[in-house]
Amino acid sequence: MDEHARPGWFTRLVSRRTVLATGTAGLAVPAALALGPVAPRHSAAAQSGVVRKITLYAEALPGNEYGYGLAPGRATIPGPTLEMYEGDTLEITLVNNTDRRMSIHPHGVDYSVDSDGSPLNASFNNPGETRTYTWRSREVAATEGRRLMPGTAGYWHYHDHAMGTDHGSLGIARGLYGALVVRRRGDILPDEQFTVVFNEMTVNNRVAPHTPLFEANLGQRVEWIAIGHGNQFHTFHLHAHRWADNRTGMLEGLTDPSRVVDTKDLNPGGSFGFQVLAGDGVGPGAWMYHCHVQSHSETGMSGIFLVRNADGSMPPGAQEAIDRFRGHDHGATSPVGAHAPHQHPPTR
Amino acid sequence: MDEHARPGWFTRLVSRRTVLATGTAGLAVPAALALGPVAPRHSAAAQSGVVRKITLYAEALPGNEYGYGLAPGRATIPGPTLEMYEGDTLEITLVNNTDRRMSIHPHGVDYSVDSDGSPLNASFNNPGETRTYTWRSREVAATEGRRLMPGTAGYWHYHDHAMGTDHGSLGIARGLYGALVVRRRGDILPDEQFTVVFNEMTVNNRVAPHTPLFEANLGQRVEWIAIGHGNQFHTFHLHAHRWADNRTGMLEGLTDPSRVVDTKDLNPGGSFGFQVLAGDGVGPGAWMYHCHVQSHSETGMSGIFLVRNADGSMPPGAQEAIDRFRGHDHGATSPVGAHAPHQHPPTR
Amino acid sequence: MDEHARPGWFTRLVSRRTVLATGTAGLAVPAALALGPVAPRHSAAAQSGVVRKITLYAEALPGNEYGYGLAPGRATIPGPTLEMYEGDTLEITLVNNTDRRMSIHPHGVDYSVDSDGSPLNASFNNPGETRTYTWRSREVAATEGRRLMPGTAGYWHYHDHAMGTDHGSLGIARGLYGALVVRRRGDILPDEQFTVVFNEMTVNNRVAPHTPLFEANLGQRVEWIAIGHGNQFHTFHLHAHRWADNRTGMLEGLTDPSRVVDTKDLNPGGSFGFQVLAGDGVGPGAWMYHCHVQSHSETGMSGIFLVRNADGSMPPGAQEAIDRFRGHDHGATSPVGAHAPHQHPPTR
């Protein structure tokens, strides 16, 4: 399995190893996730208010990049996908193995000023320094009348906020970012999980044909987490699949007014997520995902979502499509480095 | 009647002609639409799963542009507005009468890889070639718990994905795009329908004062379909009218949380639609629509929504406003071509 | 109290003075708003259809800027925040004390062509001219089936549409803009109210560290009104607080499908608003707000939301954070003028 193309799985496997190492409860991803990929599952009725501890390592990567990882030598771009249920707390011990000041700043969750990750609040790691950041979450809360103050559930993200400048522009540009998912209890869990970061003019700091090749089998429930970074505006488009433009990507009922979309603005600092059933109603094949700004897709912001047959075999024409895509090498503009070994996963 | 300014009507009329020519059922637009423009109407309880066949012709147009049309010699920019009900299938026989490779790629609907319209999947028309593309649609489907996987209903669009490059950048830039509306059964049908495509720095490949002059009578239910293309970011603003930022533009009830807007981001690959009652609460007159990015409105991305009196007569001051607008000719930056004969419809 | 940093309070106080001066009812802000800032309050069951008259003065400001104000010599950037309840009418007598043509154009509300504020409709003030603009509002209205045509409630804005060009680009660039809030009866009123305008590469025509320092006490209900203007795309991000991406920023119930966000696109002509409880779940401190486009935050589009302790005292570390922020002076790129006296409010 290609770790880079499947950061979600990678995170879960490693985080369970982390669990054993630290003696804490690990990320709240039901073990069922590792057992079978076909049937949608509801999240277990986990206990509330669990505190989990993980250690993240910031490291330099080849090609002048940086990454976060759950173990030394395992940094990736994007970093591991972190997950919580509303009510949980995540204590992150960040080990800065780089020679620059850096930090971790989350979106969506609760944190005190000393876990802000910003130089404004003197919240960062100097080179070689270890520091703990605490992220909390919560459920919705009643307010006057029928209204509710929103809870923490969402498809969020985290990133450096201190490398190079007080805004983390250098750290973000070079790969210090990842996905953060906070679920409501009862939310449907996916079989596969992909993270797509439109960062400057790249996808996950790569350009076509070195962008991630995401894979799923026909009918699997696939969760996409889309994050924007950098200085450019973008629009994320996925061929042959659509989702409701709301919290889950699904409709809450027939009167849910949400617009259904297959293209959505994805700009710096923003994020969204949704679940689709791979190939549902359209069949297996090599489906494009890309930025729909024409010059961006032309210069490398595109990739392939490979929907295999239900039994995992290759559908007709898919290998030819992948070969065509790989012929589109943007050469010198393609950064290399940590991703290189994972660029061309052998098709099973 | 100005065909360019009213692509919706044009499409319907021509599509009915197409029906006669092919012996199939034609687009699912109830005949009532042709009878009277005043009272809102619900869509008929049409049978489900109808398969409709149409032929589209891609053609070169004067001024180095291209267009799609429902009959030879009738190509327009934007192309005809295509409509379906959820559950219907549209079989499009695309005749490529240009001397370039091109295709048709839809947003929002279901299609197999061979109808993808992308060179990635070898799905395109060579010069002179005819090829059939099949678009399917469906209703919402239950998933675990109370949630529903979204159906196909939406204000979508279609465009070339093969001319010049694998992403269709040349075809889109030169006019190969149009609107695609998929309705839920029961949706309210409009009296008038306008398509506004913010494509690069133009409206429907035109700049002011050659942008479409859209017309309706006071109180008519007008459907706007807004589509973004190209390389620029835009914000669509309509004076004196507003809509709910959701699937229909209307609220589903008093607890519908949708934000109400009169300006909305309209970026490449995105689309949305809504219905307003022309001049409701504000009266007849010449109302501006424009991109709210200041330099874009200044350089030609604006036009007029003319709301006539209920009896179709001109309201006071409207002709003067139109004359003022036409005095703002951006000259050499204004492309000419297929639209030219329709730029200055005589005001009734 | 810093008037510039608290335009909402400023407006209310001045508008009450305006009331006394003109003998009319003044803005529909319940007097309770002036009494105590802690407990959330519902809007009073005010009578419907009230007509209020105010006078706005457009004036030149130091530094080649312009502003709207509720009294001569009191112009600010942004102008006063205007508020209405659905059903109310606002009659604005605009006195143009500048030597240029200018106007006032609202978003979201109802107005006739002669109150459009656009040169297209000959609706503007010549230099020295006084002209009255009428803005109306209304509640939702039933349409076919269960659907409702949206009412006027929303976080809107107003701006010049005539200075320099027919689109008001000069007036907007130089400060002629402000917030307009239309509430539904029963909406929860805030304790504090902040207006953030991302105009070109500034916040309220200022760059860091001269951007507004917004202040509230822990637990106060704070209303943010965000408005976009100019030619750049932006993304508004607030640290340690989040809101539902819908009309109010709160959820209408557990099945409200709205996405919860802490970053939102804020592009020219657009606006949104939301309420948060200051420091709720995260504690007091100096929290950043900024554009998340990296180069924009780097060059001055950031500021501080100071959440004091519940008793109004300074929390630990906050003054140090403010001092750090003030050290980041972007010097020559910082415009000066009307705001200058308010840039550095003494911390209480």
Same structural domain, C251 and C311: yes
The mean per-residue pLDDT over the stretch A214-234 comes to 98
Q: What is the pLDDT of residue C328?
A: 62
Residue with tokens 């795309």: C233
The mean per-residue pLDDT over the stretch C312-319 comes to 98
Domain count, chain B: 2
* A:143-162 residues touching chain C, CB 8 A cutoff: 143-154, 156
A325 near B CB under 8 A: yes
Return the partners of chain B (3 or more C-beta pairs < 8 Å).
A, C
Asked whether residue C23 is domain-assigned, the answer is: no
Question: What residues pair up with C90 in beta bridges, in sequence order?
Answer: C52, C135
Q: What is the pLDDT of residue A48?
A: 64
pLDDT at residue B341 is higher than 50: no
All residues of chain B having their beta carbon less than 8 Å from the beta carbon of residue A281 are: 110, 136, 138
Asked whether residue B115 is domain-assigned, the answer is: yes
Q: How far is CA A306 from CA A104, A214, A240, B137, in A?
A: 32, 6, 12, 22
High-pLDDT (> 90) share of chain C, % = 78
Return the partners of chain C (3 or more C-beta pairs < 8 Å).
A, B
Is C294 in contact with A230 (Cβ distance < 8 A)?
A: yes
Considering only the beta carbons, identify the residue of A107, A116, A246 that sits closest to C263. A107
* B:22-61 residues touching chain A, CB 8 A cutoff: none
Q: What is the pLDDT of residue A44?
A: 41
Q: Name the residue range of residue B92's domain.
A: 48-186
Q: What is the pLDDT of residue B48?
A: 64
Same structural domain, B267 and B180: no
- Residue A23 is encoded by which pair of tokens? 């003696």
Considering only the beta carbons, identify the residue of C108, C231, C258 that sits closest to B293. C231
B323 near C CB under 8 A: no
Q: Name the more confident of B125 and B328.
A: B125
| Least reliable range by pLDDT among A40-44, A125-129, A294-298, C240-244 | A40-44
d(CA A157, CA B266): 25
All residues of chain A having their beta carbon less than 8 Å from the beta carbon of residue C262 are: 107-108, 156
Same structural domain, C164 and C268: no
Under 8 Å between Cβ of A266 and A237: no
Q: How far is A261 from chain B (nearest CA, A)?
A: 7
Q: What is the pLDDT of residue A34?
A: 26
| Closest chain A residue by Cα to residue C290 | A167
Q: How far is C121 from chain A (nearest CA, A)?
A: 34
Q: How far is C100 from chain A (nearest CA, A)?
A: 35
pLDDT at residue A98 is higher than 80: yes
Residue with tokens 């409702």: C148
Whole-number CA gyration radius for chain B: 19
Q: What is the pLDDT of residue C24?
A: 32
Asked whether residue A40 is domain-assigned, the answer is: no
d(CA C225, CA C243): 12
Supply the mean pLDDT for chain A: 85
pLDDT at residue B4 is higher than 70: no
Same structural domain, A140 and A264: no
Report pLDDT digits (tens) over B44-54.
444 468 999 99
Chain A contact probe: residue of C256, C291, C320 with most A CBs at under 10 A: C256
| Closest chain B residue by Cα to residue A301 | B167
The mean per-residue pLDDT over the stretch B254-260 comes to 96
Domain boundary among A146, A166, A186: A186
All residues of chain A having their beta carbon less than 8 Å from the beta carbon of residue B172 are: 294
High-pLDDT (> 70) share of chain B, % = 80
Same structural domain, C321 and C311: yes
pLDDT band, very low/low/confident/very high, at A329 (cuts 50, 70, 90): low
The mean per-residue pLDDT over the stretch B209-224 comes to 98
Q: Is A23 helix (H, G, I), strand (E, B) or coil?
A: coil
All residues of chain A having their beta carbon less than 8 Å from the beta carbon of residue B120 are: 286, 288, 304, 321, 324-325
Asked whether residue C21 is domain-assigned, the answer is: no
pLDDT at residue B160 is higher than 50: yes
Q: Name the more confident of B14 and A123.
A: A123
Q: How far is A105 from chain C (nearest CA, A)?
A: 9
pLDDT at residue B23 is higher than 50: no
3-class SS string, chain B: CCCCCCHHHHHHHHHHHHHHHHCCCCCCCCHHHHCCCCCCEECCCCCCCCEEEEEEEEEEECCCEEEEECCCCCCECCCCCEEEECCCEEEEEEEECCCCCECCEECCCECCHHHCCCHHHCCCECCCCEEEEEEECCCCEECCCCCEECCCCEEEEEECCCCCCCCCHHHHHCCCEEEEEEECCCCEECCEEEEEEEECCEECCECCCCCCEEEEECCCEEEEEEEEECCCCCEEEECCCCEECCCCCCECCCCCCCCEECEEECCCCCEEEEEEECCCCCCCEEEEEEECCHHHHHCCCEEEEEEECCCCCCCCCHHHHHHHHHCCCCHHHCCCCCCHHHCCCCCC
Q: What is the ipTM of this complex?
A: 0.85
Asked whether residue B345 is domain-assigned, the answer is: no
pLDDT at residue B141 is higher than 50: yes
All residues of chain C having their beta carbon less than 8 Å from the beta carbon of residue B40 are: 143-144
B328 near C CB under 8 A: yes
pLDDT at residue A184 is higher than 90: yes
The mean per-residue pLDDT over the stretch A88-92 comes to 98
Supply the mean pLDDT for chain B: 85
Under 8 Å between Cβ of B191 and B83: no
Asked whether residue B272 is domain-assigned, the answer is: yes
Report pLDDT digits (tens) over C323-345.
999 996 544 333 333 333 332 22
Q: What is the pLDDT of residue C12?
A: 35
Cα-based angle B62, B67, B73 (whole degrees, multiple of 5): 70
Q: How far is B33 from chain C (nearest CA, A)?
A: 16
Chain C contact probe: residue of A110, A120, A266 with most C CBs at under 10 A: A120
Same structural domain, C173 and C270: no
Asked whether residue B5 is domain-assigned, the answer is: no
pLDDT at residue B29 is higher than 50: no
pLDDT band, very low/low/confident/very high, at A143 (cuts 50, 70, 90): confident
Is A281 in contact with B110 (Cβ distance < 8 A)?
A: yes
Asked whether residue A110 is domain-assigned, the answer is: yes
Same structural domain, B194 and B324: yes
Q: What is the pLDDT of residue C19?
A: 24
Same structural domain, B148 and B120: yes
High-pLDDT (> 90) share of chain A, % = 78
| Least reliable range by pLDDT among B50-54, C24-28, C52-56 | C24-28
All residues of chain B having their beta carbon less than 8 Å from the beta carbon of residue C271 are: 263
A166 near C CB under 8 A: yes
d(CA A45, CA A41): 12
Domain boundary among B155, B186, B217: B186
A119 near C CB under 8 A: yes
Report pLDDT digits (tens) over C177-211.
999 999 999 999 999 999 999 999 999 999 999 99
pLDDT at residue B126 is higher than 50: yes
- Residue A323 is encoded by which pair of tokens? 């070969």
pLDDT at residue B36 is higher than 90: no
- The pTM of this model reads 0.87
Q: How far is C261 from chain A (nearest CA, A)?
A: 7
pLDDT band, very low/low/confident/very high, at B250 (cuts 50, 70, 90): very high
Please tell me what DSSP assigns to residue A259: P
Same structural domain, C323 and C192: yes
The mean per-residue pLDDT over the stretch B219-238 comes to 98
Q: How far is A171 from chain C (nearest CA, A)?
A: 11
Domain boundary among C153, C186, C219: C186
Is B267 in contact with A302 (Cβ distance < 8 A)?
A: no
Same structural domain, C145 and C259: no
Q: What is the pLDDT of residue A24?
A: 32
The mean per-residue pLDDT over the stretch C220-234 comes to 98
- CATH value at residue A263: 2.60.40.420
Q: What is the pLDDT of residue B189?
A: 97
The mean per-residue pLDDT over the stretch C22-49 comes to 36
Same structural domain, B192 and B180: no
Q: What is the pLDDT of residue C37?
A: 24
pLDDT band, very low/low/confident/very high, at A328 (cuts 50, 70, 90): low
Q: What is the pLDDT of residue A3?
A: 32
d(CA B305, CA A232): 32
Same structural domain, A110 and A211: no
Report pLDDT digits (tens) over A248-257.
999 999 999 9
Q: What is the pLDDT of residue C44?
A: 41
The mean per-residue pLDDT over the stretch B144-158 comes to 94
